[in-house]
């Protein structure tokens, strides 16, 4: 048994996720969500996120790959141009972090676990405020 197939799987998985981040979420390339995403829920979420934030710029800080699993920590920045979490477009710009884990199978994202700092996004859009004072 050789190590090359596992290395190829990891390399392919990383490439799929990097293309998803830049070409689908970031809108900088020719890939469409149908090409890179097998998971319908993620495809819909990505399309809605891009509709709300068409100028979204994502910057990965850490990418860790283990076979078909790809973990990413990134930051994003965008202008609110469409409906997001029930909030109509405000024209405000936000910056927030995101941690995600993707499972890539057959050249497409099959599963995902993603956590944007939505509270930070909503605060910067003026849709949410934190109570003042100390908290635990």
Per-residue pLDDT at 29: 72
On the question of pLDDT at 31 being above 80, the answer is: no
- Please tell me the pTM assigned to this model: 0.85
**pLDDT, tens digit (0-9, with 9 covering 90-100), for 35-81:** 999 999 999 999 999 999 999 999 999 999 999 999 999 999 999 99
pLDDT of residue 125 exceeding 50, the answer is: yes
Nearest to 34 by CA among 22, 46, 52: 46
pLDDT at residue 128, as a whole number: 85
Distance, CA of 52 to chain centre: 13
- How does pLDDT run across 83-123, given as a tens digit for each residue? 999 999 999 999 999 999 999 999 999 999 999 999 999 99
Q: Is the pLDDT of residue 129 over 90?
A: no
Question: What is the CATH number that goes with domain 4-124?
Answer: 3.10.450.50
CA 111 to chain centroid, in Å, comes to 13
Domain map of the chain by residue range?
4-124
Query: 104 φ, ψ to 5°?
Result: -105, 130
Q: In the structure, what pLDDT confidence band is assigned to residue 15 with cuts at 50, 70 and 90? A: very high
87 neighbors 123 (Cβ within 8 angstroms)? no
**DSSP label at 128?**
-
pLDDT of 3 reads: 45
Residue 2 has pLDDT above 50, yes or no: no
The b-or-e profile of 22-51 (16+ CB within 10 A means b, else e) is bbbbbeeeebebeebbbbeebbeebeebbe
């Amino acid at each position: 048994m050789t190590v090359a197939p596992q290395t190829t799987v990891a390399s392919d998985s990383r490439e799929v996720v990097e293309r998803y981040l830049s070409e689908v979420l970031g809108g900088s390339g020719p890939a469409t969500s149908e090409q890179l995403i097998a998971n319908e829920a993620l495809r819909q979420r990505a399309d809605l996120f891009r509709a709300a934030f068409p100028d979204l710029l994502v910057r990965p800080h850490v990418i860790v790959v283990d076979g078909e699993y790809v973990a990413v920590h990134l930051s994003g920045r965008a202008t609110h141009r469409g409906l997001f979490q029930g909030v109509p477009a405000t024209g405000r710009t936000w910056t927030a972090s995101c941690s995600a884990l993707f499972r890539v199978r057959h050249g497409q994202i099959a599963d995902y676990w993603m956590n944007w700092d939505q509270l930070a996004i909503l605060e910067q859009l003026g849709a949410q405020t934190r109570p003042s004072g100390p908290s635990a």
